[in-house]
Structure 1
Amino acid sequence: MSQETKRVALVTGSTGGIGRAVAERLARDAFAVGVHYAGDRAGAEEIAAGITAAGGEAITVRGDVADEKAMADAFDAVEREFGGIDVVVNTAGIMLLAPIATLDLDDLDRMHRTNIRGTFVVSQQAARRLRDGGAIINFSTSVTRTQFPTYGAYTASKAAVEAMTLVLARELRGRDITVNAVAPGPTATPLFLRGKNTTEIEGLAKAAPLERLGTPADIAESVAFLAGPARWVNGQVLFTNGGLA
C-alpha cells in the first residue's frame, strides 16, 4: 500500500467505553474512522464530531452486529466514504452475569447473538473486504483465564470469539491480514461497573499486581499496536490486564 493511501478503520460498538477510546485512539494515528453504533446515535455523532474537530476524518454507521444485511450496509458506507477498509475492531458486546445454575437462558441467547454471531458476522465481512495488509481485532476477556464466578455464560461466548479469531488468522493465509483478539482484564467502563458494589470494585482493582482497574485508554493502546506496527503478531490473544492472569 502506498504512503498516500488513507488508512481506514471501522470500530463496532464505538459508543461503549472501550469502543470510544479505540475510535479516538485510531483517529490520532491518522486513521479515518467508521464510528459504528447500534442504538446511541447521539453518542456516535458526538464521537465523530470530536474526531473531525481534532483534524481527523470520521463518519457514523449504524447496525445490529448480528444482522448480516445491516453490517454489509455499514461496511458499504465506510467504503463509499473513504475508498476501502484496512482495520476492523469489533468491540461490540454485552455482558450478563449470573451463576450457571440460575442464569436465564434468554440472557444466554442474547449474549450468543451479540458476542458470538455478531463477531462472526463482522469477521466474515472483514475477511471478504479488508485490503491486503490489514488487521482484524476482536474482543475476548481475561475471565477466560481467571474463571470468576457468575461469568460462565459470558466467558463461554468469549471463548468462542477466541476460537474463531485463531481459525480466521489461518484461513487468511497469503493476504497479509493479521487476526487477533484483545482480552481485557477488569476495566473501568459502564459495562463492567454496572451491578457491582464498591467492595467488589475495590477487590478487583487490587487483584492485578498493578493494583488498579484498567482504563479504556489502556485497552485502546493494545488495539493501536495490533492495528499498526504489530505486523508479526497474528493468530494471538493479547491479555491486557495489568498482570491479573
Structure 2
Amino acid sequence: MMFQTYGNRNHPAVLFFHAMGVTGESSEPVANYLQDRYFCILPTSTVYCKGQKYVSKADEVRQVEEYLKPQGVERLELVVASSIGADLAMAFLTGTKLPIGHVFFDGGQFAQIGKGTRRMMTPFLYLAIKSLYWSKGGTLKKILWCDDNSIKPYFIAAGKNLTYTNLRRQILDSLKDKPFPALSEELQKHLYFEFGSIEDHFKYRQAVIEAYPCGNYPVFEGYDHMQYQIRDPKGFAEMLAFIAEQDGMPKLPFIRK
C-alpha cells in the first residue's frame, strides 16, 4: 500500500478507504477541508500500487494497522469508506483493536456475489479501469454517471499501475456471497450507511438494514453514486465533521424525510 496524510498528527484521526478504480488521493478534496481539525490518512490499496502484490483483505488491514502505529494513532475518530471501500472497511472494523468513534459508508457496495460471477466480472472491470488510463480519462462517462475533470487524475493513476492478477485476487476476495459480519449494537449506532436515491447501489440498502438494524441510513434524494462527495467536497467534509463531533447527521436539505 501507499499512504498520504493531511493535517497534524496530534489531531483526531480520520481514515479513508477509497472506491474501485481510483487511488487514495481521490479523498484529497475532502481531506483538504478537514486537515485543520483532523489528521487524515489516505491509503491506496496494493491493487493500484506499482510493483506490489495484493494478497487479501486481511493483509490490507495489517498494512493499515502497521502504518497507523508509528503515526501515533491510538483511536480513529472517523472511518470513511466509499463504494467497494466499504468491503475493506468492514474487514478493518472486525479485525482491528483500535477504538473507532464513527463510520460513514458513502454508497457502500454491499453486494453478495457468487464466486463464478465475480470471476466473470474481472476481465470487464480490468478493461474498464485500464481504458481510463489508455484514454487519459476519456472513457469515464461510459463507466460513471459523470466525467468531471477534477476526478479523472485518480482514475488515470489507478489504471496505470493496475495488473490483471491483482484485480483478480481482489475481486475473488471481495463482495462474497456470505452473511455480513456481526457487529455489536453499540457500534451499529455509530455507523452511517448513506445511499443516493438514484444510484445503482441503492438496491443493497435493505439487506444492510436487515443485517444492522441499529445503524443510521440517510438517503440523499436525487443523488447518484458518491455525487455529494464528488461535486461538493467541502459540504461533504462539513457533514463528516458534524457526525464526528455531534454524533448525528446534520439537517441537509436533500436528505429523504
> So what's the TM-score if we normalise by structure 1?
0.47
> So what's the TM-score if we normalise by structure 2?
0.45
